[in-house]
Protein backbone atom coordinates (compact mmCIF):
# COMPACT_ATOMS: atom_id res chain seq x y z
CA UNK A 1 0.00 0.00 0.00
CA UNK A 2 1.25 3.54 -0.74
CA UNK A 3 2.85 5.32 2.21
CA UNK A 4 1.81 8.85 3.10
CA UNK A 5 4.30 11.71 3.35
CA UNK A 6 3.99 11.76 7.16
CA UNK A 7 4.71 8.04 7.44
CA UNK A 8 7.72 8.40 5.17
CA UNK A 9 9.00 11.37 7.17
CA UNK A 10 9.15 9.19 10.29
CA UNK A 11 11.65 6.96 8.47
CA UNK A 12 13.92 9.87 7.46
CA UNK A 13 16.77 11.30 9.65
CA UNK A 14 14.77 14.52 10.37
CA UNK A 15 17.89 16.68 10.41
CA UNK A 16 16.67 18.98 7.66
CA UNK A 17 20.19 19.15 6.23
CA UNK A 18 18.85 20.08 2.75
CA UNK A 19 21.32 17.88 0.87
CA UNK A 20 18.46 16.26 -1.05
CA UNK A 21 17.51 19.68 -2.44
CA UNK A 22 14.45 20.04 -0.18
CA UNK A 23 14.30 22.51 2.67
CA UNK A 24 13.08 19.90 5.16
CA UNK A 25 12.85 16.14 5.53
CA UNK A 26 9.06 16.53 5.48
CA UNK A 27 9.17 18.29 2.12
CA UNK A 28 11.34 15.48 0.77
CA UNK A 29 8.95 12.90 2.22
CA UNK A 30 6.03 14.58 0.45
CA UNK A 31 7.95 14.40 -2.84
CA UNK A 32 8.67 10.72 -2.25
CA UNK A 33 5.00 10.03 -1.54
CA UNK A 34 4.10 11.77 -4.79
CA UNK A 35 6.77 9.68 -6.58
CA UNK A 36 8.56 12.88 -7.62
CA UNK A 37 11.84 11.96 -5.89
CA UNK A 38 13.98 8.88 -5.21
CA UNK A 39 15.10 7.82 -1.75
CA UNK A 40 18.68 7.63 -3.10
CA UNK A 41 18.66 11.46 -3.17
CA UNK A 42 18.95 11.42 0.66
CA UNK A 43 22.50 10.26 1.49
CA UNK A 44 21.54 9.57 5.11
CA UNK A 45 18.56 7.23 4.55
CA UNK A 46 18.74 4.27 6.93
CA UNK A 47 18.64 0.61 5.90
CA UNK A 48 15.21 0.40 7.53
CA UNK A 49 13.94 3.28 5.39
CA UNK A 50 15.36 1.63 2.27
CA UNK A 51 13.70 -1.70 3.11
CA UNK A 52 10.30 -0.20 3.95
CA UNK A 53 10.20 2.22 1.04
CA UNK A 54 11.56 -0.39 -1.35
CA UNK A 55 8.77 -2.79 -0.43
CA UNK A 56 6.18 -0.02 -0.71
CA UNK A 57 7.46 0.85 -4.18
CA UNK A 58 6.89 -2.71 -5.44
CA UNK A 59 3.84 -3.03 -7.69
CA UNK A 60 0.87 -4.44 -5.75
CA UNK A 61 0.59 -7.31 -8.22
CA UNK A 62 3.86 -8.60 -9.54
CA UNK A 63 4.47 -8.74 -13.28
CA UNK A 64 5.60 -12.28 -14.11
CA UNK A 65 7.12 -13.19 -17.46
CA UNK A 66 6.96 -16.65 -19.02
CA UNK A 67 9.03 -17.39 -22.10
CA UNK A 68 11.82 -15.35 -23.59
CA UNK A 69 12.37 -12.47 -26.02
CA UNK A 70 9.75 -11.51 -28.55
CA UNK A 71 7.59 -14.53 -27.60
CA UNK A 72 7.50 -13.79 -23.88
CA UNK A 73 4.12 -13.60 -22.18
CA UNK A 74 3.66 -11.11 -19.33
CA UNK A 75 1.03 -11.51 -16.66
CA UNK A 76 0.00 -9.46 -13.63
CA UNK A 77 1.23 -5.90 -13.04
CA UNK A 78 -2.32 -4.67 -12.47
CA UNK A 79 -2.90 -1.58 -10.36
CA UNK A 80 -6.66 -1.13 -10.43
CA UNK A 81 -9.74 -3.17 -9.60
CA UNK A 82 -11.89 -1.63 -12.31
CA UNK A 83 -10.81 -0.89 -15.86
CA UNK A 84 -12.36 2.59 -15.85
CA UNK A 85 -10.17 3.67 -12.90
CA UNK A 86 -7.11 3.71 -15.16
CA UNK A 87 -6.47 0.72 -17.42
CA UNK A 88 -5.65 -2.95 -17.12
CA UNK A 89 -2.06 -3.66 -18.03
CA UNK A 90 -1.24 -7.21 -19.12
CA UNK A 91 -3.87 -9.08 -21.11
CA UNK A 92 -5.24 -12.35 -19.80
CA UNK A 93 -3.37 -15.10 -21.60
CA UNK A 94 -5.38 -17.75 -23.39
CA UNK A 95 -3.79 -21.17 -23.83
CA UNK A 96 -4.40 -24.78 -24.78
CA UNK A 97 -3.86 -27.89 -22.66
CA UNK A 98 -2.33 -31.03 -24.19
CA UNK A 99 -0.79 -34.08 -22.52
CA UNK A 100 1.82 -36.72 -23.21
CA UNK A 101 -0.73 -39.49 -23.81
CA UNK A 102 -1.13 -38.00 -27.32
CA UNK A 103 1.38 -39.15 -29.91
CA UNK A 104 3.72 -36.62 -31.51
CA UNK A 105 1.65 -36.32 -34.69
CA UNK A 106 -1.45 -35.43 -32.70
CA UNK A 107 0.51 -33.01 -30.50
CA UNK A 108 1.82 -31.28 -33.61
CA UNK A 109 -1.62 -31.18 -35.15
CA UNK A 110 -3.21 -29.54 -32.09
CA UNK A 111 -0.36 -27.18 -31.26
CA UNK A 112 0.20 -26.38 -34.95
CA UNK A 113 -3.46 -25.34 -35.32
CA UNK A 114 -3.08 -23.03 -32.32
CA UNK A 115 0.14 -21.58 -33.72
CA UNK A 116 -1.41 -20.92 -37.14
CA UNK A 117 -4.40 -19.16 -35.64
CA UNK A 118 -4.37 -15.37 -35.53
CA UNK A 119 -7.07 -12.75 -35.66
CA UNK A 120 -6.61 -9.27 -37.09
CA UNK A 121 -9.00 -6.85 -35.44
CA UNK A 122 -8.95 -3.05 -35.60
CA UNK A 123 -5.38 -3.14 -36.81
CA UNK A 124 -4.06 -5.45 -34.07
CA UNK A 125 -2.95 -9.05 -34.44
CA UNK A 126 -4.48 -11.21 -31.70
CA UNK A 127 -2.98 -14.62 -30.89
CA UNK A 128 -3.20 -17.34 -28.23
CA UNK A 129 -0.37 -17.21 -25.72
CA UNK A 130 0.49 -20.53 -24.14
CA UNK A 131 0.51 -24.31 -24.35
CA UNK A 132 0.33 -26.45 -21.22
CA UNK A 133 1.75 -29.97 -21.42
CA UNK A 134 0.56 -32.36 -18.71
CA UNK A 135 2.26 -35.52 -17.49
CA UNK A 136 -0.37 -38.25 -17.90
CA UNK A 137 1.46 -41.20 -19.46
CA UNK A 138 3.26 -42.31 -16.29
CA UNK A 139 6.52 -42.56 -18.26
CA UNK A 140 9.00 -39.78 -17.59
CA UNK A 141 10.80 -40.52 -20.86
CA UNK A 142 7.56 -40.11 -22.78
CA UNK A 143 6.78 -36.88 -20.93
CA UNK A 144 10.14 -35.34 -21.71
CA UNK A 145 9.86 -36.45 -25.32
CA UNK A 146 6.36 -34.91 -25.60
CA UNK A 147 7.56 -31.63 -24.07
CA UNK A 148 10.49 -31.57 -26.48
CA UNK A 149 8.19 -32.27 -29.41
CA UNK A 150 5.82 -29.42 -28.49
CA UNK A 151 8.51 -26.81 -27.88
CA UNK A 152 10.15 -27.73 -31.20
CA UNK A 153 7.19 -26.05 -32.98
CA UNK A 154 5.75 -23.73 -30.29
CA UNK A 155 7.89 -20.65 -29.60
CA UNK A 156 5.55 -18.93 -27.12
CA UNK A 157 4.92 -19.53 -23.42
CA UNK A 158 5.05 -23.12 -22.13
CA UNK A 159 3.45 -24.47 -18.96
CA UNK A 160 4.64 -27.86 -17.76
CA UNK A 161 2.08 -29.57 -15.59
CA UNK A 162 2.30 -32.43 -13.15
CA UNK A 163 1.65 -33.32 -9.53
CA UNK A 164 4.94 -35.21 -9.64
CA UNK A 165 7.74 -32.91 -8.51
CA UNK A 166 10.44 -35.08 -10.10
CA UNK A 167 8.72 -34.85 -13.53
CA UNK A 168 8.49 -31.07 -13.22
CA UNK A 169 12.14 -30.90 -12.19
CA UNK A 170 13.29 -32.98 -15.17
CA UNK A 171 11.17 -30.98 -17.66
CA UNK A 172 12.23 -27.64 -16.14
CA UNK A 173 15.87 -28.61 -16.43
CA UNK A 174 15.35 -29.63 -20.05
CA UNK A 175 13.68 -26.26 -20.75
CA UNK A 176 16.37 -24.21 -18.99
CA UNK A 177 16.60 -20.87 -20.82
CA UNK A 178 12.94 -20.96 -21.99
CA UNK A 179 11.52 -19.65 -18.71
CA UNK A 180 8.60 -22.12 -18.47
CA UNK A 181 5.84 -21.97 -15.91
CA UNK A 182 5.81 -24.95 -13.55
CA UNK A 183 2.32 -26.10 -12.58
CA UNK A 184 1.94 -26.69 -9.80
CA UNK A 185 3.50 -26.71 -6.37
CA UNK A 186 1.19 -27.92 -3.59
CA UNK A 187 1.85 -27.66 0.17
CA UNK A 188 3.63 -31.03 0.20
CA UNK A 189 5.98 -30.17 -2.68
CA UNK A 190 6.38 -26.42 -2.42
CA UNK A 191 9.81 -26.46 -0.76
CA UNK A 192 11.21 -28.73 -3.51
CA UNK A 193 9.50 -26.79 -6.26
CA UNK A 194 10.80 -23.44 -5.03
CA UNK A 195 14.32 -24.86 -5.34
CA UNK A 196 13.60 -26.17 -8.86
CA UNK A 197 12.05 -22.88 -9.99
CA UNK A 198 14.98 -20.86 -8.65
CA UNK A 199 17.54 -23.24 -10.09
CA UNK A 200 16.00 -23.28 -13.58
CA UNK A 201 14.80 -19.62 -13.56
CA UNK A 202 11.23 -20.76 -14.07
CA UNK A 203 8.02 -19.27 -12.75
CA UNK A 204 6.04 -21.39 -10.29
CA UNK A 205 2.30 -21.95 -9.84
CA UNK A 206 1.11 -22.38 -6.26
CA UNK A 207 -2.01 -24.56 -6.19
CA UNK A 208 -4.22 -24.86 -3.12
CA UNK A 209 -7.76 -25.71 -2.14
CA UNK A 210 -8.03 -22.88 0.37
CA UNK A 211 -6.64 -19.44 1.11
CA UNK A 212 -4.67 -20.56 4.18
CA UNK A 213 -2.55 -23.01 2.20
CA UNK A 214 -2.19 -20.58 -0.68
CA UNK A 215 -0.99 -17.73 1.50
CA UNK A 216 1.36 -20.00 3.47
CA UNK A 217 3.00 -21.14 0.22
CA UNK A 218 3.22 -17.57 -1.09
CA UNK A 219 4.95 -16.56 2.17
CA UNK A 220 7.37 -19.44 1.73
CA UNK A 221 8.19 -18.17 -1.77
CA UNK A 222 8.79 -14.64 -0.50
CA UNK A 223 11.00 -15.94 2.31
CA UNK A 224 13.00 -17.89 -0.30
CA UNK A 225 13.14 -14.83 -2.56
CA UNK A 226 11.17 -16.52 -5.34
CA UNK A 227 9.05 -13.73 -6.81
CA UNK A 228 7.85 -15.16 -10.12
CA UNK A 229 4.74 -16.88 -8.88
CA UNK A 230 1.21 -17.59 -10.14
CA UNK A 231 -1.72 -18.45 -7.87
CA UNK A 232 -4.11 -21.31 -8.62
CA UNK A 233 -6.82 -21.41 -5.99
CA UNK A 234 -9.00 -24.39 -6.81
CA UNK A 235 -12.74 -23.95 -6.31
CA UNK A 236 -15.79 -26.19 -6.46
CA UNK A 237 -17.92 -23.87 -8.54
CA UNK A 238 -17.62 -21.04 -11.00
CA UNK A 239 -19.24 -18.76 -8.45
CA UNK A 240 -16.64 -19.63 -5.81
CA UNK A 241 -13.81 -19.18 -8.30
CA UNK A 242 -15.13 -15.76 -9.36
CA UNK A 243 -15.36 -14.78 -5.68
CA UNK A 244 -11.80 -16.01 -5.04
CA UNK A 245 -10.41 -14.02 -7.96
CA UNK A 246 -12.11 -10.92 -6.63
CA UNK A 247 -10.78 -11.49 -3.09
CA UNK A 248 -7.26 -11.97 -4.47
CA UNK A 249 -7.38 -8.82 -6.59
CA UNK A 250 -8.89 -6.68 -3.86
CA UNK A 251 -6.63 -8.16 -1.19
CA UNK A 252 -3.55 -7.29 -3.23
CA UNK A 253 -4.67 -3.82 -4.27
CA UNK A 254 -6.85 -2.56 -1.45
CA UNK A 255 -5.31 -4.29 1.57
CA UNK A 256 -1.74 -4.42 0.30
CA UNK A 257 -1.46 -8.18 0.93
CA UNK A 258 1.83 -9.06 -0.72
CA UNK A 259 1.13 -12.79 -0.56
CA UNK A 260 -1.88 -12.30 -2.85
CA UNK A 261 -0.09 -9.93 -5.22
CA UNK A 262 0.52 -12.42 -8.03
CA UNK A 263 -1.11 -13.32 -11.35
CA UNK A 264 -3.84 -15.99 -11.36
CA UNK A 265 -3.83 -19.22 -13.38
CA UNK A 266 -6.94 -21.21 -14.18
CA UNK A 267 -7.26 -24.59 -15.88
CA UNK A 268 -10.70 -24.83 -17.43
CA UNK A 269 -12.33 -28.14 -18.23
CA UNK A 270 -16.08 -28.30 -17.72
CA UNK A 271 -16.63 -31.07 -20.27
CA UNK A 272 -18.64 -28.70 -22.45
CA UNK A 273 -16.83 -26.41 -24.94
CA UNK A 274 -19.43 -23.65 -24.61
CA UNK A 275 -19.16 -23.62 -20.82
CA UNK A 276 -15.35 -23.66 -21.18
CA UNK A 277 -15.52 -20.56 -23.37
CA UNK A 278 -17.87 -18.85 -20.88
CA UNK A 279 -15.49 -19.58 -17.99
CA UNK A 280 -12.56 -18.26 -20.03
CA UNK A 281 -14.58 -15.11 -20.75
CA UNK A 282 -15.13 -14.64 -17.02
CA UNK A 283 -11.39 -15.05 -16.40
CA UNK A 284 -10.73 -12.29 -18.93
CA UNK A 285 -13.31 -9.98 -17.41
CA UNK A 286 -12.54 -10.73 -13.76
CA UNK A 287 -8.90 -10.88 -12.90
CA UNK A 288 -7.63 -14.09 -14.50
CA UNK A 289 -4.08 -13.82 -15.84
CA UNK A 290 -3.84 -17.07 -17.77
CA UNK A 291 -6.75 -19.32 -18.74
CA UNK A 292 -5.91 -22.72 -20.20
CA UNK A 293 -8.64 -24.42 -22.22
CA UNK A 294 -8.84 -28.16 -22.98
CA UNK A 295 -9.60 -27.77 -26.69
CA UNK A 296 -8.94 -25.27 -29.45
CA UNK A 297 -11.75 -24.14 -31.70
CA UNK A 298 -11.48 -20.81 -33.59
CA UNK A 299 -15.22 -20.33 -32.98
CA UNK A 300 -14.45 -20.08 -29.24
CA UNK A 301 -11.09 -18.33 -29.40
CA UNK A 302 -12.23 -15.55 -31.73
CA UNK A 303 -14.84 -14.04 -29.37
CA UNK A 304 -12.48 -14.59 -26.41
CA UNK A 305 -9.62 -12.70 -28.03
CA UNK A 306 -11.98 -9.94 -29.17
CA UNK A 307 -13.41 -9.67 -25.64
CA UNK A 308 -9.88 -9.53 -24.25
CA UNK A 309 -8.93 -6.75 -26.63
CA UNK A 310 -11.97 -4.75 -25.54
CA UNK A 311 -11.36 -5.24 -21.82
CA UNK A 312 -7.66 -4.42 -22.01
CA UNK A 313 -7.88 -1.39 -24.27
CA UNK A 314 -6.98 1.73 -22.31
CA UNK A 315 -10.35 3.48 -21.86
CA UNK A 316 -8.58 6.83 -21.87
CA UNK A 317 -6.73 6.14 -25.11
CA UNK A 318 -9.00 4.76 -27.82
CA UNK A 319 -7.24 2.70 -30.47
CA UNK A 320 -6.56 5.10 -33.31
CA UNK A 321 -5.44 5.01 -36.90
CA UNK A 322 -3.12 7.60 -38.41
CA UNK A 323 -5.02 10.66 -39.71
CA UNK A 324 -4.61 10.57 -43.48
CA UNK A 325 -6.38 9.77 -46.76
CA UNK A 326 -6.70 6.00 -47.18
CA UNK A 327 -7.32 4.32 -50.54
CA UNK A 328 -9.99 1.62 -50.34
CA UNK A 329 -9.58 -0.73 -53.29
CA UNK A 330 -7.87 1.00 -56.21
CA UNK A 331 -9.37 4.48 -56.31
CA UNK A 332 -8.55 6.94 -59.07
CA UNK A 333 -9.44 10.54 -59.88
CA UNK A 334 -13.05 9.57 -60.53
CA UNK A 335 -13.58 7.81 -57.24
CA UNK A 336 -15.83 9.21 -54.54
CA UNK A 337 -14.51 10.40 -51.19
CA UNK A 338 -15.89 9.19 -47.85
CA UNK A 339 -15.16 10.79 -44.48
CA UNK A 340 -14.98 9.21 -41.04
CA UNK A 341 -13.04 9.62 -37.79
CA UNK A 342 -9.75 8.04 -36.74
CA UNK A 343 -11.28 5.78 -34.05
CA UNK A 344 -9.92 2.41 -35.21
CA UNK A 345 -13.15 0.50 -34.84
CA UNK A 346 -15.03 3.11 -36.90
CA UNK A 347 -12.29 3.26 -39.53
CA UNK A 348 -12.10 -0.52 -40.02
CA UNK A 349 -15.87 -0.94 -40.14
CA UNK A 350 -16.36 1.90 -42.65
CA UNK A 351 -13.46 0.85 -44.90
CA UNK A 352 -14.69 -2.76 -44.79
CA UNK A 353 -18.22 -1.75 -45.80
CA UNK A 354 -16.95 0.42 -48.66
CA UNK A 355 -14.91 -2.56 -49.85
CA UNK A 356 -17.95 -4.83 -49.55
CA UNK A 357 -19.97 -2.43 -51.70
CA UNK A 358 -17.70 -3.29 -54.63
CA UNK A 359 -16.43 0.23 -55.39
CA UNK A 360 -13.05 1.83 -54.86
CA UNK A 361 -13.01 5.10 -52.94
CA UNK A 362 -10.87 7.48 -50.93
CA UNK A 363 -11.45 7.49 -47.20
CA UNK A 364 -10.58 10.77 -45.50
CA UNK A 365 -9.71 10.32 -41.83
CA UNK A 366 -8.94 13.58 -40.03
CA UNK A 367 -7.45 13.78 -36.52
CA UNK A 368 -10.33 13.25 -34.03
CA UNK A 369 -8.32 11.95 -31.06
CA UNK A 370 -9.64 8.44 -31.65
CA UNK A 371 -13.26 9.39 -30.96
CA UNK A 372 -16.25 7.91 -32.76
CA UNK A 373 -18.29 10.06 -35.14
CA UNK A 374 -20.94 11.47 -32.80
CA UNK A 375 -18.56 11.84 -29.84
CA UNK A 376 -16.00 13.63 -32.01
CA UNK A 377 -18.67 15.95 -33.37
CA UNK A 378 -20.04 16.68 -29.86
CA UNK A 379 -16.48 17.42 -28.69
CA UNK A 380 -16.01 19.91 -31.54
CA UNK A 381 -13.40 17.76 -33.29
CA UNK A 382 -15.38 16.70 -36.34
CA UNK A 383 -16.99 19.86 -37.72
CA UNK A 384 -17.33 20.91 -41.39
CA UNK A 385 -14.54 23.46 -40.98
CA UNK A 386 -12.11 20.86 -39.61
CA UNK A 387 -12.93 18.26 -42.27
CA UNK A 388 -12.68 20.92 -45.00
CA UNK A 389 -9.32 22.13 -43.72
CA UNK A 390 -8.01 18.56 -43.58
CA UNK A 391 -9.14 17.83 -47.17
CA UNK A 392 -7.36 20.98 -48.36
CA UNK A 393 -4.25 20.19 -46.34
CA UNK A 394 -4.06 16.71 -47.95
CA UNK A 395 -4.29 18.25 -51.41
CA UNK A 396 -7.01 15.76 -52.31
CA UNK A 397 -8.83 18.32 -54.46
CA UNK A 398 -5.77 18.58 -56.75
CA UNK A 399 -5.66 14.82 -57.28
CA UNK A 400 -9.25 13.98 -58.16
CA UNK A 401 -11.82 15.16 -60.66
CA UNK A 402 -14.90 13.65 -58.99
CA UNK A 403 -15.50 16.06 -56.17
CA UNK A 404 -18.15 14.14 -54.29
CA UNK A 405 -17.58 13.87 -50.56
CA UNK A 406 -19.79 11.62 -48.42
CA UNK A 407 -20.19 12.48 -44.74
CA UNK A 408 -21.62 10.16 -42.06
CA UNK A 409 -25.42 10.45 -41.72
CA UNK A 410 -25.09 11.04 -37.97
CA UNK A 411 -23.45 14.42 -38.63
CA UNK A 412 -25.69 15.64 -41.47
CA UNK A 413 -25.64 19.01 -39.69
CA UNK A 414 -22.02 19.67 -40.72
CA UNK A 415 -22.91 19.57 -44.44
CA UNK A 416 -23.54 23.35 -44.72
CA UNK A 417 -20.29 24.20 -42.99
CA UNK A 418 -18.41 21.72 -45.16
CA UNK A 419 -19.94 23.19 -48.34
CA UNK A 420 -18.65 26.58 -47.24
CA UNK A 421 -15.20 25.15 -46.56
CA UNK A 422 -15.12 23.23 -49.86
CA UNK A 423 -17.22 25.35 -52.25
CA UNK A 424 -16.34 23.37 -55.39
CA UNK A 425 -17.32 20.00 -53.87
CA UNK A 426 -20.68 18.24 -53.76
CA UNK A 427 -21.35 17.27 -50.15
CA UNK A 428 -23.54 14.16 -49.85
CA UNK A 429 -25.02 12.95 -46.57
CA UNK A 430 -24.34 9.22 -46.30
CA UNK A 431 -26.08 6.61 -44.18
CA UNK A 432 -26.02 6.71 -40.38
CA UNK A 433 -24.93 3.09 -40.07
CA UNK A 434 -21.87 1.71 -41.84
CA UNK A 435 -23.89 -1.44 -42.57
CA UNK A 436 -26.03 0.64 -44.97
CA UNK A 437 -23.08 1.83 -47.09
CA UNK A 438 -23.56 -0.96 -49.64
CA UNK A 439 -27.18 -0.01 -50.41
CA UNK A 440 -26.25 3.68 -50.28
CA UNK A 441 -23.58 3.12 -52.93
CA UNK A 442 -26.02 1.17 -55.10
CA UNK A 443 -28.99 3.52 -54.76
CA UNK A 444 -27.46 6.95 -54.33
CA UNK A 445 -23.82 7.10 -55.33
CA UNK A 446 -23.86 5.13 -58.56
S1 LIG B 1 18.98 14.86 2.70
FE2 LIG B 1 17.86 13.44 3.97
S3 LIG B 1 18.24 14.19 6.03
FE4 LIG B 1 18.79 15.84 4.68
S5 LIG B 1 16.92 17.09 4.47
FE6 LIG B 1 16.90 15.64 2.83
S7 LIG B 1 15.73 13.98 3.63
FE8 LIG B 1 16.34 15.14 5.39
What's the average model confidence in pLDDT over 81-90? 90
Residue 183, SS3 per DSSP:
strand
pLDDT in tens, 158-179: 999 999 999 999 999 999 999 9
Contact criterion met (CB below 8 Å) for 194 and 168:
no
- Number of other CB atoms surrounding residue 85 within 10 Å: 11
**Calpha distance 385→416 (Å, rounded):** 10
324 lines ligand 1 (CB under 6 A): no
Give yes or no for residue 2 having a pLDDT over 80: no
pLDDT in tens, 304-328: 999 999 999 888 877 889 999 999 9
Residues linked to residue 364 through DSSP beta bridges, in sequence order: 325, 339
Give yes or no for residue 59 having a pLDDT over 90: no
Helix (H) or strand (E) holding 123: none
- The overall average pLDDT reported for the chain is 94
Preceding peptide of 184 cis, ω within 30°: yes
Confidence of residue 52 (pLDDT cuts 50, 70, 90): confident
**Sheet bearing 324-328, strands edge to edge:** 324-328, 361-365, 337-339, 404-407, 426-429
Helices and strands, counts by H and E, the chain: 17, 17
Q: Show the domains of the chain with their CATH numbers.
A: 5-57 (1.10.15.40), 63-312 (3.20.20.20), 324-445 (3.40.50.11600)
Q: Which of 54-63, 73-82, 143-152 has the lowest mean pLDDT?
A: 54-63
In the prediction, which pLDDT does 204 show?
A: 98
In the prediction, which pLDDT does 377 show?
A: 95
E strands present in 11-123: 63-66, 73-76, 93-99, 119-121
In the prediction, which pLDDT does 57 show?
A: 67
User: Measured from the CA of 29, which atom of ligand 1 is nearest?
Assistant: 7
31 lines ligand 1 (CB under 6 A): no
Q: What is the pTM of this model?
A: 0.78
Backbone dihedral angles phi then psi of residue 99, each to the nearest 5 degrees: -145, 170
CA dihedral 105, 111, 113, 118 (to 10 degrees): -160
- Non-local (6+) Cβ contacts of 189 within 8 A are 163, 165
Share above pLDDT 90 across residues of the chain, in percent, rounded to a whole number: 84
What's the average model confidence in pLDDT over 276-282? 96
Measured in angstroms, how far is the CA atom of residue 56 from the centroid of ligand 1?
19
23 lines ligand 1 (CB under 6 A): no
8 lines ligand 1 (CB under 6 A): no
Spell out the alpha helix ranges (H) of 255-330: 273-285, 298-312
Contact criterion met (CB below 8 Å) for 206 and 221:
yes
Sign of the dihedral defined by the CA atoms of residues 369, 375, 379, 382, in that order: positive
Measured in angstroms, how far is the CA atom of residue 51 from the centroid of ligand 1?
17
- Non-local (6+) Cβ contacts of 73 within 8 A are 65, 66, 67, 93, 129, 130, 156, 157, 290
- Number of other CB atoms surrounding residue 135 within 10 Å: 25
In the prediction, which pLDDT does 84 show?
A: 87
pLDDT in tens, 222-243: 999 999 999 999 999 999 999 9
In the prediction, which pLDDT does 399 show?
A: 84
- Non-local (6+) Cβ contacts of 109 within 8 A are none
Please state at what angle helix 211-223 crosses helix 190-200, rounded to 10 degrees.
40
Spell out the alpha helix ranges (H) of 287-379: 298-312, 344-356, 373-378
Backbone dihedral angles phi then psi of residue 269, each to the nearest 5 degrees: -165, 85
What's the average model confidence in pLDDT over 181-195? 96
Question: β-strands 63-66, 73-76: how paired?
Answer: antiparallel
What's the average model confidence in pLDDT over 89-96? 97
User: Measured from the CA of 14, which atom of ligand 1 is nearest?
Assistant: 8
pLDDT in tens, 116-145: 999 988 888 999 999 999 999 999 999 999
Give yes or no for residue 402 having a pLDDT over 90: no
**Sheet bearing 93-99, strands edge to edge:** 229-233, 203-208, 181-185, 157-161, 130-134, 93-99, 290-293, 265-267
Q: What share of the chain is helix, strand, coil (3-state, %, to 5)?
A: 45, 15, 35
Backbone dihedral angles phi then psi of residue 159, each to the nearest 5 degrees: -115, 125
In the prediction, which pLDDT does 257 show?
A: 93
E strands present in 5-145: 63-66, 73-76, 93-99, 119-121, 124-126, 130-134
44 lines ligand 1 (CB under 6 A): yes
Give yes or no for residue 289 having a pLDDT over 80: yes
In the prediction, which pLDDT does 1 show?
A: 55
User: Measured from the CA of 18, which atom of ligand 1 is nearest?
Assistant: 5
CA dihedral 143, 294, 77, 206 (to 10 degrees): -50
In the prediction, which pLDDT does 73 show?
A: 97
In the prediction, which pLDDT does 213 show?
A: 98
Amino acid sequence: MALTGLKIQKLLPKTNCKECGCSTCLAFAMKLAAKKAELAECPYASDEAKAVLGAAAEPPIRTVTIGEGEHAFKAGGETVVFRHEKTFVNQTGVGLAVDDSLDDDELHRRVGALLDYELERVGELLRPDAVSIAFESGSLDRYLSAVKSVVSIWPRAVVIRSDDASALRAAAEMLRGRRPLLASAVPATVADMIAVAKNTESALVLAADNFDDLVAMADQCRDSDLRDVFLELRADSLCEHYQNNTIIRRGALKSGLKNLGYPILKYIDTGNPIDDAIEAGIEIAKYGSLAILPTFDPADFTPLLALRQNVFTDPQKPIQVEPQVYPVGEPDENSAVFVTTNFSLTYFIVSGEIENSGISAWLVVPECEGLSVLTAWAAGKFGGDKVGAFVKECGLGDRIACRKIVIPGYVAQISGELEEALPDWEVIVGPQEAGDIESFVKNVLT
